[in-house]
Chains A and B, each alone.
Chain A
Amino acid sequence: MVDDLEYWQKVLESAKRSLEIMEARGIDDVRSRKTAQMAIDEAKTEIENLS
């Protein structure tokens, strides 16, 4: 399986949604947020490289 543009866009979309839900519901778990943010940063980098 290739980690293609579509794959990383889905990773980005999912991680952004995770953060949105955490914001909306007041979930302040630091490690959960950090995990989502790491996925966002990684996905953005990969998308930039693949675009």
Chain B
Amino acid sequence: MIKFAELERGDIVSITGAVANSHEEQRAIVPAWKRGMSNYTSYLDAGNDDMIGFPHGYGVDGNLVIHAAWSSGLGIFRVNNDGSFTKIYGNSDPSGAYGDANNQSVVLHKDLQLFVIMSYDNNGYSIWDYSDCFNGNAPTLEESGGTFIDDGAGLTIEDVGSSYYSGLTIAGDWVYAVDEGAEHYKAIGRRNLRTGVSEKVDFTTDKRTGSATIDRNGYRGTVFYDSVNDRVFYCTYYNANMTVIYDASTADPKAVWCDMGDAGLGDDAYEQGIYIRDPTNYPNKLVVGCNSRHAHVDITNCLSGGAVSVLGQMYTEDGANGSRFGNYFRAGVQEQDVTANHTERNPSFSDFCPTSPDRGRNMLDGWLDLDNYKIVGVYRHDSTTEDTTTGGRGRSYRSNYGAPIFRVRSTDGTYWWVKLGYDYDGHKYWSWSNDIGNGLIGNWEVIYGTYTLDNSANVDFVHLETLGHYTPSGCSFSYYVSNNNGSTWETYNASADGYHMFSSSGTQLRVKYSATGQSDKAPYKMSSSYDVVSYGSLYESVKDATIPYKVTRKKIRGKKS
């Protein structure tokens, strides 16, 4: 007698350290974050906390956080020494010049204590002095208008980025801004906040020695700054990807063309993000958003006119692997520096590349497995079963859009981790202590059951078919089975014929997954199907070695016809 059963989410007896889901065509088990909606330190409903942009939807200076808001303009708050928040400023109409909605980009010039805030579909910009915000007072509007950058030779920028990625970044005194339109082909605009000068960086003439000549007319996109190596990454949504601008904070920036299309990564950068694992020792190895995937690449050869080396690819829409994220997938961090107080990186592990939600996908945040090259995360917050007790975490933080949780240092030197987003828990600012931080619980366990045979027959053997199980380096994934409802467990050890034979006697089957991991990575299941268990009874004659189990051959005598 043999029966088959899917290890369904509804069969979960217990779950610790993980989140299991079953949404549309995703059947995943992912490690849970330490943080949750019960072990937070503080929260604040400021009324304008709908941060939607990535990666520059917000900026941090000291204990001050300034963010753009999609439906309500602008928000500024302070993180206090006890992890609580103080609202400094909220304005549903930041400039009066361009309406109050759809702001998704903000950058801070920390020396001048100025910030620039812009939208993606409302023309206009505003520049504010935020120095008095440290004293708890409102910022001062310094300048606003329709055109943020005008180089006097045809390049103008009135809005930036797109829905909902940001199109501003800052390198020293220079704010780089990207928009759509032919004037941005093979070029980017920038404006010096100290001098007020606007100029065009022309990738064909301002080319770094050795680089290939850019041969594609890319436009629209998102920009990232690598403060460790003074580089701006310009990733174009349409028609090419990517240009790296070296010496970005200087008067003489130089562009390097890194043709992702020629490297087989698609022509467009629908996905967004930059992550440099080791910006000091390996600055040219990075994760970059490409077409329907994030790619781990090495751009060293591009410095001498060569091609991008592809180290690995992580597809955003990979049905067989349960990756159901579509495009506009966010991965990476705003600040690459591993030593900065403000960080979205894991302070202890350089491997950790966070991913963030967009359009209601990856709602619980996730991460990239750079060992197996998979995107790890659940599609939506609903249709999930998760650990709500470990570390007093409660359920996971959820939002439709957001940025990675980030670290802020309060004035007494204490680190706090802050989460901003849009929709659901994004309605408030939330903080967690540094010991909780941005890491995973690491170890996790899920038990399924109880499965029985007809007439309470003994379960003598079991076969486990796992689908989409992955184990990153330094982690382990083990399977246990029980035929006495979990009283005793045996390590699942299938023989050559694929079956594990129980050494005990019992009628109630349970299956246990046990994973060991750490705060930056842990084993996971990403699949479109449940795992399947088959189990059954053996005839007594097979189980009992003392019973002769032999077919005696007997020659039939007779006459051949």
Interface residues of A (CB under 8 A from B): 1, 3, 10-11, 14-15, 17-18, 21, 25, 27, 29, 31-32, 34-36, 38-39, 42
Contacts and interface: CB of A to CB of B under 8 A. Distances in A.
Given A11-B423, A15-B423, A39-B423, A1 B50 contact: no
B24 to A, nearest CB: 12
Contacts of A3: 395
Given A15-B423, A27-B121, A39 B102 contact: no
Contact of A21 (B71, B359, B394, B400): B71
13 contacts: A1-B40, A1-B395, A14-B422, A17-B71, A18-B423, A25-B102, A27-B121, A29-B359, A31-B326, A35-B400, A38-B360, A38-B380, A39-B423
B9 interface: no
B349 interface: no
Nearest to A26: B121
Interface string B300-334: 00000000000000000000000000101000000
B481 interface: no
A38 B423 CA distance: 11
B121 A14 contact: no
A21 B163 CA distance: 13
A47 B394 CA distance: 21
A15 B426 CA distance: 12
A36 B401 CA distance: 11
B71 A1 contact: no
Contacts of A35: 359-360, 400, 423
Contacts of B400: 35-36, 39
A24 to B, nearest CB: 8
B470 to A, nearest CB: 27
B38 interface: yes
A42 B382 CA distance: 9
B453 interface: no
B245 interface: no
A28 to B, nearest CB: 11
Contact of B121 (A17, A25, A38, A39): A25
Interface of B: 37-38, 40, 50, 70-71, 101-102, 121, 163, 326, 328, 359-360, 380, 382, 394-395, 400, 422-424, 427
B163 A14 contact: no
A17 to B, nearest CB: 6
Given A14-B50, A15-B423, A39-B400, A1 B394 contact: yes
Contacts of A11: 423-424, 427
Given A14-B423, A21-B71, A21-B102, A31 B359 contact: yes
Q: Which of B38, B40, B359 has the most CB of A within 10 A?
A: B359
Given A14-B422, A18-B423, A34-B359, 5 more contacts: A1-B40, A18-B70, A21-B71, A36-B423, A38-B380
B101 A21 contact: yes
B38 A1 contact: yes
B394 A39 contact: no
A14 B37 CA distance: 19
Contacts of B395: 1, 3
Closest A-B pairs by Cβ, 10 of them = A35-B360, A1-B37, A31-B359, A35-B359, A10-B427, A35-B400, A21-B101, A17-B71, A1-B394, A1-B38
Nearest to B100: A21
Nearest to B380: A38
A2 to B, nearest CB: 9
Contacts of A32: 163, 359
Contacts of B424: 11, 39
Contacts of A21: 70-71, 101-102
Contacts of B70: 18, 21
A17 B50 CA distance: 12
Contacts of B360: 31, 34-35, 38-39
Nearest to A8: B424
B421 to A, nearest CB: 11
A29 B423 contact: no
Contacts of A29: 163, 359
Contacts of B326: 31
A26 B380 CA distance: 26
Nearest to A13: B427
Contacts of B328: 31
B394 A14 contact: no
A21 B360 CA distance: 17
Contact of A25 (B40, B101, B394, B422): B101
B101 A14 contact: no
Nearest to B99: A25
A15 B359 CA distance: 12
A41 B541 CA distance: 59
Contacts of A39: 360, 400, 423-424
Nearest to B360: A35
Q: Which of A11, A29, A35, A39 has the most CB of B within 10 A?
A: A35
A39 B423 CA distance: 8
Nearest to B122: A25
A27 B163 contact: yes
Nearest to A20: B71
A31 B424 CA distance: 17
Contacts of A34: 359-360
A22 to B, nearest CB: 10
A3 B395 CA distance: 10
B180 to A, nearest CB: 15
B423 to A, nearest CB: 6
A8 to B, nearest CB: 10
